[in-house]
Structure 1
Amino acid sequence: MVFRYEKDTDNIVTITMDMPQRSANVINAEFNAALAETFARLKAETELTGVIITSAKKTFLAGADLEPMLEVRDPAALFQEIQQVKRIFRGMETFGKPFVAAINGAAMGGGLELALACHYRILIDRPDAQVGLPEVTLGLIPGGGGITRLTRLLGLETALPLLTEGKRLSPAEARALGIVNELAATPEELIAKAKAWIQANPEPRQPWDTKGYRLPGGDVRTPKVAQMITAAPAVLLKKTRGNFPAPLAILSAAVEGTLVDFDTADRIESRYLANVATGQVAKNMIAAFWFQLNKINGGGSRPADIPPATFSKVGILGAGMMGSGIAYACATAGLEVVLKDVTLEQAEKGKSYTEKVLRPRVEKGRMKEADLAAILARIHPTTRAEDLRGCELIIEAVFEDRAVKKEATQEAEAQLAPTAIFASNTSTLPITSLAQVSERPENFIGLHFFSPVDKMPLVEIIVGEKTSPETLARSFDFVRQIKKTPIVVNDRRGFYTSRVFATYTSEGMTLLLEGQPASVIEAAGMQAGMPVGPLAVSDEVSLKLMHYVRQQTERDLAAEGKPIPEQPSNRVLDAMLSQGRAGKAAGAGFYEYPPEGKKFLWPGLRELFPPQAPLPFADIRDRLLFIQALETVRCLEENVVRSVADANIGSLFGWGFPAYTGGTLQFINGYGVRAFVERAQALAARYGERFTPPARLLAMAEAGESFPMQ
């Protein structure tokens, strides 16, 4: 039974959503059929006081089942399907009897849309009982009346940011905005309040169905709203760079919908959803940010049959930017942290980073002073190796130098129990080679965090040749314990994320060497959807550090008797460093960094790299994206990256590959594997063999295959 139907002695019907064999209620064909059947039953009632809709699950209603969305291609058929559900929602609010949503947990997307179709909404006052319309984060738009009702409830000015940003609201925030009418402390109070409201309001009407209703704040003909709406498309375009259809579709449906009656507005919304949902961007984002992300966070990359581990005490070697950030992540997750550096002053400075991040939350009332004090008390700065005793995990975050790492490893291991894990935060040095100085290489692993750690959600777990499955499983559990997303890769130089990300910065520098204007290169990267241009991010990373990593790589390759590859970007690095321009931290790189005002491209670039014939902008843009996708395929071929999900999520969360693509491999799917291969071959013919498609990709194109989306 999908819905439980119970009528009490006061003729109040309580409909309890409880989909079998599911941890959460979702809107799918089964749900829609049960909803239609239940509504028909309600219409047949001869004595009915009112209706309460609630859930037997921990959450209220999670929204639409997204799996069919990966396959749907026919906008007309989808439009009709959407309209069938909406007719029931509309029937509820025009039924003539009170409908109350007793929201016992999170109500996202379609869950909130169902609640908005009720006359009154009561939400359980619990931190996890968030509400929102986050469809835009999956490339979709609310299509169950969410745009139509929210704009009529709150007005365009208040509703649009919630809709276009997909913000999740706490119970208090939802109540303050009027999205929910009341809060309840307990499930029992939730139902009691719902019944009381029904008794007191026998003939309710939605605000928009009431005579004399006016849109809060006015419609687009109101001068203030008109001014906002006029600027809104430009604001959205600046944010999305034209790569995300959903936000503009939301804006269009909201604005157009306020100029017509409710039912027409509802149809307009359905048409926009049908158009967006059948597009490629929505499929890319659903595949990555729903199916693949859930697969990874659910343990898809974790060795099975190994008991779960929980950590209580962690040691961190090095209190620089990375070490300080890792200490913050661990302490805020409730772990005790020993933060070791060569001087107590530096270790104390590392601890202060946590206060720097959290202090604004206290000042804004989002965190209590006592909670901040408790977090800070978990971080123990020290210079003594002996203080590492009792740590179940050590994370080494010292400078990228083999000698320094060797000393740190051996000093710490002498203090550890035989079962403790030693992890290196290196971003480039092979884990297997670093583990050679360890007495327990089976306990040695790579945990590559991303800067700034307090904001970046990814941790790349690198498995060395001797790393045991138990060490991998426990490390995976640690990453989830500190609320990060883990991808698992095998050991190679640069691993996966650093190796592929380097192709982006390298291609940008190569284009500069080819005489392309720096401003055009940066614009191409941004228009492609990267967070920043390749030259700007090179400055952020530090040209000096890039040079050092290159030197270390060349030394390692020489020691292994391997050839040192020639890279045009090295000539750019050398030229920049010879000018004393080492990056943002040094105050000068590809950009100038004035003490006041915004950064700007260094005018000397034109003299250092003389302009040549301009290349097609589309070629520059494609080179910056294709080089990353091609290198990812090579990583997959070489078994560096273990799964398509790890590759896509790693690219999205690790270095900001454009979200609308769904990740480096889904980008190939969306482009079309055969079309991608043909375009790569054209780029290779003109710009070099680095764009030659790998054998695996050629075989996929020939067989008409694509990378799995789930």
Structure 2
Amino acid sequence: MIRYERAADGVVTLTMDDPGQSANTMNPAYVAAMTAALDRLEAERDEVTGVIVTSAKTTFFAGGDVPMMSTATTKDAPALAELLGTIKRDLRRLETYGRPVVAAVNGAALGGGLEIALACHHRIALDAPGTRLGFPEVTLGLLPGAGGVTRTVRMLGLADALMTWLLSGKRLKPADARDNGLVDEVAPTPEEMISRAKEWIAANPDAAQPWDRPGYKMPGGTPSTPKLAAQLPAFAATLRKQLKGNRLPAPEAILATAVEGAQVDFETAQLIETRHLITLLTGQIAKNMMGALFFDMRAVNGGLARPRAEVLPATKIAVLGAGMMGAGIAQACARAGLPVVVKDVTPELAARAQGPGIVTTANAEDLRGCDVVIEAVFEDPALKAKVFAEVEPLLAPGALLASNTSTLPITGLAEGVSRPADFIGMHFFSPVGRMPLLEIVVGNKTRDEAVARAFDLGRRIGKTPIVVNDGRGFFTSRVIGKFMDEAVGMLAEGVPAASIEQAALQAGYPTGPLALADEVSIALMQRIRRQFEAAAGDAFVRLPSHELVDAMVDKHDRPGRSSGRGFYAYENGKRAGLWEGLAELATREGRAVPFADLQDRFLFAEALDAQRCLDEGVLRTEEDGNVGSILGIGFPAWTGGVLRFARQHADFPGRATELAARYGERFVPA
């Protein structure tokens, strides 16, 4: 696991290279190997002039052993404490060894990898495309527990450690990590990195960590320092604002670990860190988040739903429509190094998508030879058929034909092209540059090769692609519609709008449903529902929410944020509070609904419909449902995804039946 090599100059290189894994992790092999390496270093101290810690993998060190961590229970707490104690003891032995120690970070150093680097006296990172440094633990419901909180706080001070590194979960490039204090140098090549490491060792024979030097003072002061003590309430307030009442214990535990640890000696701070991590590790929320954002994500990105078809990669992309979505799709493709041509009806409109590597045009002839076309025009089947008919004859033989529609059935749209087997839905999310999900929608005639090509293109442009079968609204638009319908239904019942928004935020949703409805457009909600109604005929069930939406659009002319009038009032494009006329739209006098019921109505409405999607075959895998719900439609991350929420709930059928008795048959469990 760790190769020990001592050169003639006395510099020992410890090269991490787990023989059983493609990446190094803090598994039992690492723990034993690091202990053995430190034992040997101490035995050979007189012959050693310095130490370089590096990796033989393309990454430096991937972090903790998530499969092991995800199974931890309270019974495992003593063993976890012993394991963490051993890891921390060896890293402490490394930084107090009495010889200069340099981390030669040759690739990604995330979580535990960055913690190993921080236990070195000097950090040199390789300026390679995949090199990232950071503490993503908070995104998995955990905290850096191998000294990461303790060392980062002592190195940078509380404010910078918390806001830049520990609470953000950011993965910084080497230069950014240098500018933010956790990397000392950036090297252009592996050879230069090792050369600089040896030069630094030669120049700093008495190297020590700042906190081990006489007279050390924590940057910015400790919590007992009057100036910093005055800032602590602001830290807590900022965290409360970020969480919005969300059920995420990890950020609170990180804040507590940092503040408590800053008031005591190094060893006690390490113990505080261990105890907080074990509390998180043995809780359900971390298991949920690791389940979705590590295991399910790995399965989805690894091609769980990708057909086993051999296909050629995309070489030239055509995008039809240069609106916000079309421009975003074009830029995502261009950033991945793909040639892109964007067409709109006039050169001026097409120019909205301009950017490096993007050609804009109003002339269909400029799309000749493209082997992928992604349509991103208005949600009108006739218009979509028209733009495909114009460009299809010009495309490369067998070109992939994709529509960015968010709700229109792909099977129906495929009737407008000559090759329905090559037609597929590629539903991007707005804004394309920030939203990581891609929903690939398979029509009744779509062939496996088309699915594989769409999946591979999604991965190439950095998206997480879920694959779903056709159906009105597919998976994401259909399920998020339940969230917004439930909120509007609550308004119709007379529940105060502010309570509705707050219930969703405290349940863990990133945005209140009424604010989201304004963003999506209330008018669009009405149009989609009327399309559903026309398709379903007598089987369509009208809800009180439908009448209220009709009143908002048709009677009060409040179609959403884009017009500056929706459930919220707007000033200069920004929300200026809930519209004061909402209370008058209730179809019955105000109803006293328990706050917990408001929260569960949102969670259960989406979870029950996701189960129906799985039963009906719209969802192909549970992993796609869980990942898609978190990344695409904002289902609370603490649940581990919409289907995992139902699975891990103490009594999902019982609670659903209770909600059905109080609020309607839509909550009857499947």
Normalised TM-score (structure 1): 0.90
Assess, with a 3 A threshold, how the Cα gap between structure 1 residues 317 and 234 changes in structure 2: closer, same or farther: same
3-state SS of 1:599 partner: strand
What amino acid maps onto 2:557 in structure 1? G
Assess, with a 3 A threshold, how the Cα gap between structure 1 residues 583 and 322 changes in structure 2: closer, same or farther: same
**What displacement does 1:67 show?**
0.5
The number of residue pairs the alignment matches comes to 663
Q: What are the superposed Cα offsets for residues 66-98 of structure 1, whole Å, 9 maximum, x if unpaired?
A: 011110012333122111111111111222233
**What displacement does 1:596 show?**
7.3
2:649 equivalent to 1:679: no
What amino acid maps onto 2:613 in structure 1? C
Q: Distance in 1 between matches of 2:323 and 2:11?
A: 62
Alignment of 1:409-558 (within 5 A): 409-558=388-537
Alignment of 1:81-92 (within 5 A): 81-92=83-94
Q: What are the superposed Cα offsets for residues 90-143 of structure 1, whole Å, 9 maximum, x if unpaired?
A: 111222233222222221111111111122222223343222222112111011
Residue in structure 2 matched with residue 371 of structure 1 by the alignment: none
Q: Distance in 2 between matches of 1:438 and 1:298?
A: 31
3-state SS of 1:593 partner: strand
What amino acid maps onto 2:111 in structure 1? G
Residue in structure 1 matched with residue 540 of structure 2 by the alignment: 564
Once the two structures are aligned, what percentage of the paired residues are identical?
Answer: 52
What amino acid maps onto 1:76 in structure 2? P
Residue in structure 2 matched with residue 639 of structure 1 by the alignment: 617
Does structure 2 retain, via aligned residues, the 8 Å contact 1:402–1:434? Answer: yes
Q: Distance in 1 between matches of 2:328 and 2:178?
A: 35
3-state SS of 1:422 partner: strand
**What displacement does 1:474 show?**
0.7
Q: What are the superposed Cα offsets for residues 204-259 of structure 1, whole Å, 9 maximum, x if unpaired?
A: 32211112111112111222211221221121122112411111111111111111
What amino acid maps onto 1:300 in structure 2? L
Residue in structure 1 matched with residue 38 of structure 2 by the alignment: 39
Q: Distance in 2 between matches of 1:170 and 1:320?
A: 31
- Choose 684-693 or 545-554, whichever is displaced more: 545-554
2:230 equivalent to 1:250: no
Assess, with a 3 A threshold, how the Cα gap between structure 1 residues 122 and 319 changes in structure 2: closer, same or farther: closer
Alignment of 1:156-175 (within 5 A): 156-161=158-163, 162-175=165-178
Q: Distance in 1 between matches of 2:633 and 2:645?
A: 15
What amino acid maps onto 1:147 in structure 2? V
Assess, with a 3 A threshold, how the Cα gap between structure 1 residues 490 and 18 changes in structure 2: closer, same or farther: same
Assess, with a 3 A threshold, how the Cα gap between structure 1 residues 9 and 385 changes in structure 2: closer, same or farther: closer
- Choose 265-274 or 286-295, whichever is displaced more: 286-295
- Choose 190-199 or 631-640, whichever is displaced more: 190-199
Residue in structure 1 matched with residue 212 of structure 2 by the alignment: 209
Residue in structure 1 matched with residue 561 of structure 2 by the alignment: 584
**What displacement does 1:612 show?**
1.7
Of 660, 665, 668 in structure 2, the residue corresponding to residue 689 of structure 1 is 665
**What displacement does 1:444 show?**
0.8
Residue in structure 2 matched with residue 220 of structure 1 by the alignment: 223
Does structure 2 retain, via aligned residues, the 8 Å contact 1:517–1:611? Answer: no
What amino acid maps onto 1:679 in structure 2? R
What amino acid maps onto 1:31 in structure 2? Y
Q: Distance in 2 between matches of 1:89 and 1:277?
A: 21
Assess, with a 3 A threshold, how the Cα gap between structure 1 residues 408 and 188 changes in structure 2: closer, same or farther: closer
Q: Distance in 2 between matches of 1:482 and 1:122?
A: 29
2:236 equivalent to 1:236: no
3-state SS of 1:414 partner: helix
Does structure 2 retain, via aligned residues, the 8 Å contact 1:82–1:144? Answer: yes
What amino acid maps onto 1:664 in structure 2? V
Assess, with a 3 A threshold, how the Cα gap between structure 1 residues 465 and 616 changes in structure 2: closer, same or farther: same
2:582 equivalent to 1:605: yes
**What displacement does 1:413 show?**
2.1
- Choose 9-18 or 178-187, whichever is displaced more: 178-187
- Choose 492-501 or 44-53, whichever is displaced more: 44-53
Assess, with a 3 A threshold, how the Cα gap between structure 1 residues 677 and 557 changes in structure 2: closer, same or farther: closer
3-state SS of 2:610 partner: helix
Residue in structure 2 matched with residue 707 of structure 1 by the alignment: none
Gaps of 5+ in 1: 355-373, 695-710
Of 115, 136, 146 in structure 1, the residue corresponding to residue 148 of structure 2 is 146
Q: What are the superposed Cα offsets for residues 244-291 of structure 1, whole Å, 9 maximum, x if unpaired?
A: 111111111111111111111111111111111211221111111122
Q: What are the superposed Cα offsets for residues 598-629 of structure 1, whole Å, 9 maximum, x if unpaired?
A: 42111111122154231101101110111001
Q: Distance in 1 between matches of 2:341 and 2:309?
A: 31
Residue in structure 1 matched with residue 123 of structure 2 by the alignment: 121
Q: Distance in 2 between matches of 1:395 and 1:59?
A: 34
Assess, with a 3 A threshold, how the Cα gap between structure 1 residues 591 and 222 changes in structure 2: closer, same or farther: same
Q: Distance in 2 between matches of 1:215 and 1:233?
A: 20
Does structure 1 retain, via aligned residues, the 8 Å contact 2:323–2:353? Answer: no
Normalised TM-score (structure 2): 0.95
Q: Distance in 2 between matches of 1:335 and 1:320?
A: 20
Q: Superposition RMSD on alpha carbons, in Å?
A: 1.8
What amino acid maps onto 1:57 in structure 2? K
Residue in structure 1 matched with residue 359 of structure 2 by the alignment: 379
